[in-house]
Structure 1
């Protein structure tokens, strides 16, 4: 029986329960923050990423946020925002933003499950893997533009077509 079938047997299918099972299966460190939220640490090639998934029953939306710390020099912020826009032009799911106050680079994605829809294990695993893969792919570009004094266009040349990690 698959992981998704295990959850379909019961009447209550909660997306965070399924994510918790995925985290345990992948042996990721995790903390079930509330009934509707889980925080995990997922190791990539460049760094360990903080991944949080939160379920909003009112909006019927599952929100994924993947973050890593980043403190670029103030004078490089315009170039960082330029490279963020370039990255976001290349991705189809989710998008990057920089939270300056928290000094975090953020990948965000919201999955609408309106009308009683549910996310299966494969879909949730894909969401998490996509977030980590995107962070891994563009991490070098963020570093080069922030500390290497490279132009946004030159920094984007290092964004590889596909990153390989342990997501």
Structure 2
């Protein structure tokens, strides 16, 4: 968790402002344009692009995490099946494959209503960002097992989600 004293912020802030402050406090490379902020984060498996788009009129914050996975046309049917099996494991958000580009992503939308245009807390921001990264980290090996390891979607899920006991 981020120490709240590490950066300046209001208790509540506009979603994109809070996300930008959160990224800056972590020292993550990021860019900001109007109602969108994009950050790059190094994970255990790959670098993730985190993209947030605020739709003030609708009170919706669209949060996307791109785990740097592109799927060739001939592998899409296997990945669609994998996505369906992975999404059964999720409580919040979902994975999808953009049909036009073959890019795999994690997507979550947060409803943030408010008469003042909507605001978000540090705790909500942290949950949004960290849960997206955690799900990408958790399921990245599943997609790699299917794309590069020659496993079926069911084999990949079984192999990647083994619960380990103890420490080595």
TM-score category (smaller protein)? 0.7 to 0.9
Matched, 1:148 2:120: no
Q: Which runs of 4+ in 1 moved over 6 A?
A: none
Gaps of 5+ in 2: 164-168
Alignment match, 2:135: 134
Deviations 1:89-120 (A, max 9, x none): 11111000011422311110110012445321
Alignment match, 1:165: none
Gaps of 5+ in 1: 163-167
Once the two structures are superposed, the pairs formed by residues 84-123 of structure 1 within 5 Å of their partners are: 84-116=83-115, 118-123=119-124
Aligned CA RMSD, in angstroms, stands at 2.3
How many pairs were matched up?
Answer: 158
Deviation at 1:149, TM superposition (A): 2.0
Q: Is the 8 A contact 1:69 1:103 kept in 2?
A: no
Q: Secondary structure at the match of 2:67?
A: strand
Q: TM-score, normalising length from structure 1? A: 0.85
Q: Secondary structure at the match of 1:39?
A: strand
Once the two structures are superposed, the pairs formed by residues 1-167 of structure 1 within 5 Å of their partners are: 2=4, 6-8=9-11, 13-34=13-34, 36-116=35-115, 118-160=119-161
Q: TM-score, normalising length from structure 2? A: 0.84
Distance 2:82 2:133 in 1: 18
